[in-house]
Structure 1
Amino acid sequence: MTKTNPGRFFEDYAIGQTIRHAVPRTVAEGERALYHALYPARHALYSSDEFAISCGLDGSPLDDLLAFHTVFGKTVPDISLNAIANLGYAQGRWLRPVWPGDTLRAESQVIGLRPTSNGQAGVVWVRTTGLNQVDEAVLDYVRWVMVRKRDAASPGPDPVVPDLAPAVEAADLLVPEGLSFENYDFDLAGEPHRLSDYAIGETIDHVDGVTIEEAEHMLATRLWQNTAKVHFDATHRPDGRRLIYGGHVISLARALSFNGLANAQMIVALNAGAHAAPCFAGDTVCAWSEVLDTAPTQAPGVGAIRLRLVATKGDSAAMTLRDADGKYLPDVLLDLDYWALMPV
């Protein structure tokens, strides 16, 4: 009897199925250091205990996307080990900060299934919740993945496609307890721009770029214990190339957005996201953002800004997303819609 795990295929999922993912992960300052080494991350709230304390927190929490990647990585052996592509995200919320020393685990519920037209695969929708060591939810999100079938001739289930809201409502954003930007130090944060300085519809070219190396993206993917074959095994794709983990592109783009959005300190919701094109080692990632909305919060001096973050291959100066037919331009890697907290 085999003891190895080939991963789940499309036939192995059922609506309502709940999956408790192995293996819990205790995160610490080492993860922060590696995260900041892999990405040009500079947001002050995640870099300095003293800055975070001046903003009403007990210290500097771990980066919001570090928490996301850790929880996401837990789900890969059960959800996307046999994935063809990770297709999108929706309805994500960060529910409480993750602190050094916290232990994170993940659970997912299957909420949608749809066979593909060619019968070779199917799309699986899951709602994933990340929990800490005292079973408090720290974040949750929906994602959908195209997964290979074990047997192309096997019958598919009746399609069930979840009805997902286009965005998290501003009233449903959760601000960390105690957070206040009343004494916010703009000099130490790196830029003078506050919420009122941004206009809906404004676009910001983040100017800088990062060229991805093979070793760098594989180290990052291993850091999150993401075991998806397409990221490591060069024989797993017909073109013989390792696919860059989509979260690696997200973190690169978010870090690049510091130039122009240094005061968008904390990501609190993920409204929608799509990996529009594959990314490979040797690609240079650039980024631009569009301001979609702003909103007040109940926390002192804290507002919310809704941003579209676009990562591109090469020059981002055109700041164009789609062609005349509404299709993503070939150089667009990522289209991410999120809410962040910013001083008013």
Structure 2
Amino acid sequence: MKAYEIQSNAGIDALALVDRPEPKPTAGQVLIQVKATSLNYRDLLIAEGAYDAKQKYPVIPVCDGVGEVVTVGEGVTRVKIGDRVAGTFFQDWIYGSLTREKMKSALGSGNDGMLAEYAVLHQNDLVILPDYLSDIEGATLPCAGVTAWQALVTEGNIRAGDSVLLLGTGGVSIFALQFAKIHGARAIITSSSDDKLARARQLGADETINYKTTPDWEKQVYQLTNRIGVDHVVEVGGAGTLPKSLQAVRIGGRISLIGVLSGRGNEIDPSPILFKNLTVQGIEVGSREMFEAMNQAMQQHQIKPIIDRVFSFTEAREAYHYLKSAAHFGKVVISNDTLYETLRERGLANATLT
């Protein structure tokens, strides 16, 4: 089979398309023909050697992927041949709390991921894809979707009337916008692009802030909330934005710390956390149980993932470069070539899908 490998920390252009033997499922496992994958910022960090200093090579990258079950091993009962399934981000996190051992089961870093023609996963680590979603749409769910769901719903306990601040318009933030709106929350979103902010308003954003023209955006958030602050911040920036998020959240509010898009390592003054009685929680994607709960809500509300562009399997490097450019709104997807050609005929390949 064809698969991509990260063989060193030499960067995106060193991503190698290789031939590997087609994997065979053993007891409890299934063989999946991968139909589509999607990229996350984590995938860029792994390709550039900036994710884990102990990263082992070679590894098949990408944690997000969906496909069709084509072979099942002995004892498999949760899925059957022909089912459309997505793999979970942490293969061993079914329910309960995250542990060190469960963290070792993440796809695309310590374990081979989904950027291949076939993948073998254990039946317990699979989620059935909702019928109303295409393979391309389903491929966006395992990391960004579940992360936003855990942040706002599982841990955030979002309620109607809450206010939520979303930083940027990448995959996690756009999923969080959609989840906030189905729960009746007020959503404030930031971006450096007025065009992206206009698209966010079309998705239901109540207030938008261009952080390039309004660098003190935390003050604007404060004013928009009657000098109270938001109930919840979905913080994807990291060290560069966290100090502003600490100012933008209300007393007793919550910050879900998810990403490091603006960098790491800056000194953070912890006093706002103390004096404002804040909850700051790191969010590491989520369990299979959370994934399934999210799918039920998405099915009920017919939520469609927002996809910016679709690239073919042979264009994986181009997809990585596009994600790195930060030009995207929502998710960047890589499809298998057959599906890509269908999209090309419809005028949708390598183009905006929203």
**TM more than 0.5:** no
Determine which structure has the larger helix proportion and give its number.
2
Determine which structure has the larger strand proportion and give its number.
1
Report 1 or 2 for greater relative contact order, CA contacts < 8 Å, sequence distance ≥ 6: 1
- TM-score between the two structures when normalised by the length of structure 1: 0.24
- TM-score between the two structures when normalised by the length of structure 2: 0.24
